Amino acid sequence: MNILIVTDAWHPQVNGVVTTMKNTIDRLRAKGHECTVIEPSNFVSLPLPGYKEIRVAINPWTVGKLIEKTAADSIHIVTEGPLGLAARVFCKRRRLKFTTSLHTKFPEYIHQRIGLPVAIGYRFLRWFHEPANLTLATTSTMVAELEGHGLSRMRAWGRGVDCEQFVPDRAKNRGDRRRPKLLYVGRVAVEKNIEAFLDLPIDAEKIVVGDGPQRQQLQKKYPSASWLGYKSGDELAACYAEADVFVFPSRTDTFGIVMLEALACGTPIAGYPVTGPLDVVEEGKNGALSENLAEAVEQAMRIDRDYCRRFAMKHSWDSVTDVFERSLVAA
Angstrom distance (rounded) from CA 49 to CA 52: 7
Note the pLDDT tens digit of each residue in 150-205. Answer: 999 999 999 999 999 999 987 666 655 679 999 999 999 998 999 999 999 999 99
Question: For position 55, what pLDDT does the model report?
Answer: 85
Domains of the chain, by residue range, sit at 2-160+317-327, 168-312
Pick one of 3.40.190.10, 2.10.210.10, 3.40.50.2000, 2.60.120.260 as the CATH number of 2-160+317-327: 3.40.50.2000
What is the distance between the alpha carbons of residues 159 and 22, in angstroms, rounded to a whole number? 12
What b/e string do you get for 43-55 counting C-beta neighbours within 10 Å, with b at 16 or more? bebeeeeebeebb
Write the DSSP symbol of residue 15.
Answer: S
pLDDT of residue 254: 84
Q: Which pLDDT value is given to residue 37?
A: 98
Which residues make Cβ contacts (< 8 Å) with residue 199, sequence separation at least 6?
none
CA distance 303 to 272: 17
Rg (CA), the chain: 20
pLDDT value, residue 173: 65
- Selected residue with higher pLDDT from 53 and 22: 22
The CATH number fitting domain 168-312, selected from 1.20.1260.10, 3.40.47.10, 3.40.50.2000, 2.40.30.60: 3.40.50.2000
Mean pLDDT of the chain: 94
Residue 126, helix vs strand vs coil: helix
Question: Where in 114-235 does DSSP place strands (E)?
Answer: 134-137, 154-156, 181-185, 205-209, 226-229
Would the CATH topology of 2-160+317-327 be identical to that of 168-312?
Answer: yes
Q: What are 220-264's pLDDT values in tens digits?
A: 999 999 999 999 999 999 999 999 999 999 998 888 899 999 999
Dmax of the chain from CA atoms?
A: 65
**pLDDT attached to residue 176:** 59
pTM of the model: 0.87
pLDDT tens digit sequence for 30-85: 999 999 999 999 899 988 776 777 788 999 999 999 999 999 999 999 999 999 99
